[in-house]
Amino acid sequence: MTLKNDLVLRAARGEKVERTPVWLMRQAGRVLPEYRAVREKMGGFKELVETPEFACEVTIQPVDILGVDAAIIFSDILVIPEAMGLPYQMVEAKGPWFEKTIKTADDIAQLRVAQPEDLHYVMDALKLTKKTLDGRVPLIGFAGAPWTIFAYMIEGSGSKTFSKAKKFLYTQPQLSHLLLQKITDSTINYLKGQIVAGADMLQLFDSWAGILSPEQYNEFSLKYISQICDAITEVPFTVFAKDAHFARVQMGKLSCDTIGLDWTMDIAESRAMIGNTKTLQGNIDPCLLYADYDVIKKEAVKMLKAFGPDRHIANLGHGLYPDLEKDKVRCFVDAIKEFRF
Amino acid sequence: MTLKNDLVLRAARGEKVERTPVWLMRQAGRVLPEYRAVREKMGGFKELVETPEFACEVTIQPVDILGVDAAIIFSDILVIPEAMGLPYQMVEAKGPWFEKTIKTADDIAQLRVAQPEDLHYVMDALKLTKKTLDGRVPLIGFAGAPWTIFAYMIEGSGSKTFSKAKKFLYTQPQLSHLLLQKITDSTINYLKGQIVAGADMLQLFDSWAGILSPEQYNEFSLKYISQICDAITEVPFTVFAKDAHFARVQMGKLSCDTIGLDWTMDIAESRAMIGNTKTLQGNIDPCLLYADYDVIKKEAVKMLKAFGPDRHIANLGHGLYPDLEKDKVRCFVDAIKEFRF
């Protein structure tokens, strides 16, 4: 199927685009009243993730309502630990919670390497969404980076410091590598499955990149991200390592197409560190969208000019916050789409 | 009174030292069983902060037990909002909580500029500690940086995103500056009072520096930190802005003596950005102290060599975590003290 709008894919590949494309992390979510209506009907977050027709519905909502240039499948990075044998619950207002966590070599040995069929509901959601989108915009698939998945599997929940997960790195480096490799193998299988199911592009989220030292990040995160980048050759691939300011030079050497930036990373400095062979994605502070309309427009244009016309996909530096107003979000998207260099 | 050990002060001023001095953020705290015993006797955290003889006791504990080269007064950065008219509670396992927060111009107008006498219990604790220390090591006083204090005054509690505080910056920039100036004036009064009460050195903690964009950080944080640095000329002054990797070049231009680094900041890169006229403080990941003794020793020495013999005060890149073992912490301190270049 030919895409009617392939701006995001072309920008990722470094091809010329008529205007900078835009999509937003967490664009399918609480910021849309239409999403909240589906959630109310469904009950839990996981039921929504696991029911392809509803996941498809909320995935397409921001394309209709916000006019973004890509859809990203509504799912969760923690489906991978679950597929490996570590189920979790999503506790309202608290976040993810794992009843069992990884503590020993035996715990790791008992985990299986996930296969695409273990995550059939994601594959079904991708297929249905791809069909329903009917080529309007590209469909993005995603997974968590191995270090971030590891952090949840050891810690068992969200945390400010993830000190249990980091303690494991410091005290059990060999077991850590065993577990990270198993997560990496699962993630490659999962992402390959997403391509077969219809994903036009893929993104890896390293949400907890910023709590490691540069040296630990090289050893326990980038090494595995690099394996995944090398394995995914079929579609454009984006790596977003939140707060990993210290890893920008090395990230420029990954065999991926696009690097995500957060808003603490200066644009010109990041371009200089990463080089000209990567597309950059980002990097507005989500809190900007609390501002007045004229401030939002002004800052959107300022960001576009700082990135320049080539190799940029406009986005936020993190996901949308649930209490942002839909009209402000739409204003940001429109400001990007209206601007011409 | 002549100090028997003034290594920290000399290192801060860039003078030659026989060995690199060391102290640890949160060295007075839950990591010491002796602290936990005082806490049990006292009840709440705030009672401890507000009772000079107990604050003095726990301030000196790590000098006796860990052998650190400085004492830092046991207190809390949130005494400033309280002295300005915004009381808070410290809720067990949850953190600080303000019943009233700042929302309007009128709320800001009603705040007073704090004077040292509003914080007489801190001044009394400093005087008593200075006397009890009897010149063994320097006594460090501290305050929160204006942006961090502002963040709590608007948000009313800790937060992952401080999105209310950031929303206020984006929607009410003029009111934000009014409030930040009032906090700055209060902080200068407070720090001047601490010098009179006996502090040999002062540190400013910008705990939430890392959630602002570089531009916002310049406008809403560094501007006020700079005023404070200019006002404090009597004793060595340290600025520690956690996660403010993007502000290192500008921080090198502050009129302070020492810049704190966290463990995500590469040492050589930070030295190049900050220049040679500042002492650097830090920057071990607190989680290293979960590792085995030999790993702790090896990493301590590696850090010392990376910083080099001059203009370095050894510390962590954040406060000690409460579940670290005292003997591991002591091992780190000893490794620093035993090393010679």
Domain ranges of chain A: 7-279
- pLDDT for A14-39, tens place per residue? 999 999 999 999 999 999 999 999 99
Q: What is the pLDDT of residue B213?
A: 98
Range B246-249, long-range pairs (CB < 8 A, 24+ positions) = B246/A245, B246/A264, B246/A265, B246/A266, B246/B214, B246/B217, B247/B209, B247/B214, B247/B217, B247/B218, B247/B222, B248/B273, B248/B274, B249/B273, B249/B274
B76 as an active site residue: the answer is yes
Q: What class does CATH assign to A7-279?
A: alpha beta
Question: Sign (positive/negative) of CA torsion A155, A159, A164, A169?
Answer: positive
Residue at token pair 């050990």: B5
**Number of helical (H) and strand (E) elements in chain A, helices listed first:** 16, 9
**What percent of chain A is modeled with pLDDT above 90?**
98
Q: What is the pLDDT of residue A42?
A: 85
CB A298 within 8 A of CB A243: no
Q: What is the pLDDT of residue B43?
A: 81
**Is A217 a residue whose pLDDT tops 80?**
yes
Three-point CA angle B289, B294, B299, nearest 5°:
60
Q: How far is A283 from chain B (nearest CA, A)?
A: 10
Average pLDDT of chain A to the nearest whole number: 97
Confidence of residue A71 (pLDDT cuts 50, 70, 90): very high
Residue at token pair 């990954």: A254
Where b means 16+ CB within 10 Å and e means fewer, B80-98 reads: bbbbbebebbbeeeeebeb
A19 as an active site residue: the answer is no
**Number of helical (H) and strand (E) elements in chain B, helices listed first:** 16, 9
Q: Which residue, B5, B71, B65, is CA-closest to B329?
A: B65
Domain B22-260 falls in which CATH fold?
A: TIM Barrel (3.20.20)
- What span, in angstroms and rounded, lies between the C-alpha atoms of A82 and B321? 30
- pLDDT for A121-132, tens place per residue? 999 999 999 999
Report the residue from B163, B286, B292 with minimal CB separation from A171: B292
A26 as an active site residue: the answer is yes
Confirm or reject contact between B213 and chain A (CB < 8 A). Answer: yes
A206 as an active site residue: the answer is no
**What percent of chain B is modeled with pLDDT above 70?**
100
Do B163 and A243 count as a contact with CB atoms less than 8 A apart?
Answer: no
- pLDDT for B219-241, tens place per residue? 999 999 999 999 999 999 999 99
Report the residue from B170, B285, B295 with minimal CB separation from A290: B170
Could you count the other beta carbons within 10 Å of the beta carbon of residue A241? Answer: 29
Confirm or reject contact between A241 and chain B (CB < 8 A). Answer: no
Q: What is the pLDDT of residue B334?
A: 98
CB A147 within 8 A of CB A75: no
Confidence of residue A175 (pLDDT cuts 50, 70, 90): very high
Under 8 Å CB pairs connecting chains A and B tally to: 80
Cis peptide before A283 (omega within 30 of 0): yes
Do A264 and B163 count as a contact with CB atoms less than 8 A apart?
Answer: no
pLDDT string in tens for chain B (341-residue length): 799 999 999 999 999 999 999 999 999 999 999 999 999 988 899 999 999 999 999 999 999 999 999 999 999 999 999 999 999 999 988 899 999 999 999 999 999 999 999 999 999 999 999 999 999 999 999 999 999 999 999 999 999 999 999 999 999 999 999 999 999 999 999 999 999 999 999 999 999 999 999 999 999 999 999 999 999 999 999 999 999 999 999 999 999 999 999 999 999 999 999 999 999 999 999 999 999 999 999 999 999 999 999 999 999 999 999 999 999 999 999 999 999 99
Q: Name the residue type at position A220.
A: F
Residues 6+ apart with CB under 8 A from B172: none
What is this model's ipTM? 0.95
